[in-house]
């Protein structure tokens, strides 16, 4: 089966402080590679990956990998609005990066309005635990995830542990959101697009809804 024949495209944004491992997680997921001396992201990088979420339904995942450094914030902010999914990443060995997750979440949510963005929270660098470098406990991270209404995954880009799970959880969450009407395709918004006409089993009342955000559309 040719996976590049996709039905839906989801735009996913990578969020979190500099050095938490956003680019490393994407590289592990899309290329199965890990670089100890990876370059810091300048502005925004772009990646594509295809995922079959259920038999016959392929999603084109467009990843926007933003720079965590403050000096790029004016550039990276402009990518928030057209995102339907966000991977909120912190470093399990860096308490400050965890403390700033709420801020990342709130800023993106605010800028995406009136559209909806769905999140997954990722604690990266589980491999540091063996060296006694863990600064954030699983329980407190789970509490924050619950508060944000997002699932929580602990991963390691270095060890390649639970990386695919984190990305695919988010993709499936968006797909379920599309089916249930929690997120909707809208003209003039690039968070979700569809290519091939295909009947999607969405809730009829919600999939036909229109608002000031523009006309809704269905595949």
- Contacting positions for ligand GTP (CB under 6 A): 16, 18-24, 35-36, 38, 40-41, 67-69, 124-125, 127-128, 156-158
**Burial of residue 109, with CB atoms counted within 10 A of its CB: 0-12 exposed, 13-18 middle, 19 or more buried:** middle
Q: How far is the CB of 92 from ligand GTP (least distance, A)?
A: 9
Question: Does position 23 bind Mg ion by CB under 5 A?
Answer: yes
Question: Does position 202 bind Mg ion by CB under 5 A?
Answer: no
Question: Does position 124 bind Mg ion by CB under 5 A?
Answer: no
68 Cβ contact partners less than 8 Å away, ≥ 6 residues apart: 16, 17, 18, 19, 20, 22, 41
Question: Residue 15 or 118: which CB sits closer to Mg ion?
Answer: 15
157 binds, among Mg ion, ligand GTP, none (CB under 5 to 8 A by kind): ligand GTP
Q: How far is the CB of 54 from ligand GTP (least distance, A)?
A: 30
18 binds, among Mg ion, ligand GTP, none (CB under 5 to 8 A by kind): ligand GTP
124 binds, among Mg ion, ligand GTP, none (CB under 5 to 8 A by kind): ligand GTP
Question: Residue 10 or 104: which CB sits closer to ligand GTP?
Answer: 104
SS (H, E, C) the chain: CCCCCCCEEEEEEEECCCCCCHHHHHHHHHHCCCCCCCCCCCCEEEEEEEEEEECCEEEEEEEEEECCCHHHHHHHHCCCCCCCEEEEEEECCCHHHHHCHHHHHHHHHHHHCCCCCEEEEEEECHHHHHHCCCCCCHHHHHHHHHHHCCCEEECECCCCECHHHHHHHHHHHHHHHHHHCCCCCECCCCCEEECCCCCCCCCHHHHCCCECCECECCC
Is the separation of the CB atoms in 151 and 121 below 8 Å?
A: yes
Is the separation of the CB atoms in 152 and 170 below 8 Å?
A: no
Question: Does position 82 bind Mg ion by CB under 5 A?
Answer: no
Question: Residue 133 or 143: which CB sits closer to ligand GTP?
Answer: 133
Question: Residue 7 or 23: which CB sits closer to Mg ion?
Answer: 23
Question: Residue 69 or 216: which CB sits closer to Mg ion?
Answer: 69
Question: Residue 9 or 18: which CB sits closer to ligand GTP?
Answer: 18
Q: How far is the CB of 83 from Mg ion (least distance, A)?
A: 16
Question: Does position 41 bind Mg ion by CB under 5 A?
Answer: yes
191 binds, among ligand GTP, Mg ion, none (CB under 5 to 8 A by kind): none
Question: Does position 126 bind Mg ion by CB under 5 A?
Answer: no
């Amino acid at each position: 089966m040719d996976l590049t024949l996709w039905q839906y495209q989801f735009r996913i944004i990578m969020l979190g402080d500099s050095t938490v491992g956003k680019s490393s997680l994407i590289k592990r997921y899309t290329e199965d590679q890990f670089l100890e001396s990876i370059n810091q992201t300048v502005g925004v990088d772009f990646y594509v990956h295809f995922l079959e979420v259920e038999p016959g339904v392929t999603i084109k995942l467009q990843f926007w990998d933003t720079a965590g450094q403050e000096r790029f914030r004016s550039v990276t902010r402009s990518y928030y609005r057209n995102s339907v999914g966000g991977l909120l990443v912190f470093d399990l060995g860096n308490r400050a990066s965890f403390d700033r997750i709420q801020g990342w979440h709130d800023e993106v949510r605010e800028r995406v309005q009136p559209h909806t963005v769905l999140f997954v929270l990722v604690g990266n660098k589980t491999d540091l635990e063996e060296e006694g470098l863990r600064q954030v406990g699983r329980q407190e991270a789970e509490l924050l995830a619950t508060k944000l209404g997002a699932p929580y995954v602990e991963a390691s880009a270095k060890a390649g542990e639970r990386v695919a799970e984190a990305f695919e959880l988010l993709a499936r969450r968006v797909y379920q959101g599309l089916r249930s009407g929690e997120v909707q395709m809208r003209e003039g918004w690039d968070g979700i697009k569809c290519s091939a006409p295909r009947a999607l089993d969405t809730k009829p009342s919600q999939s036909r809804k229109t608002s000031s955000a523009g006309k809704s559309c269905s595949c």
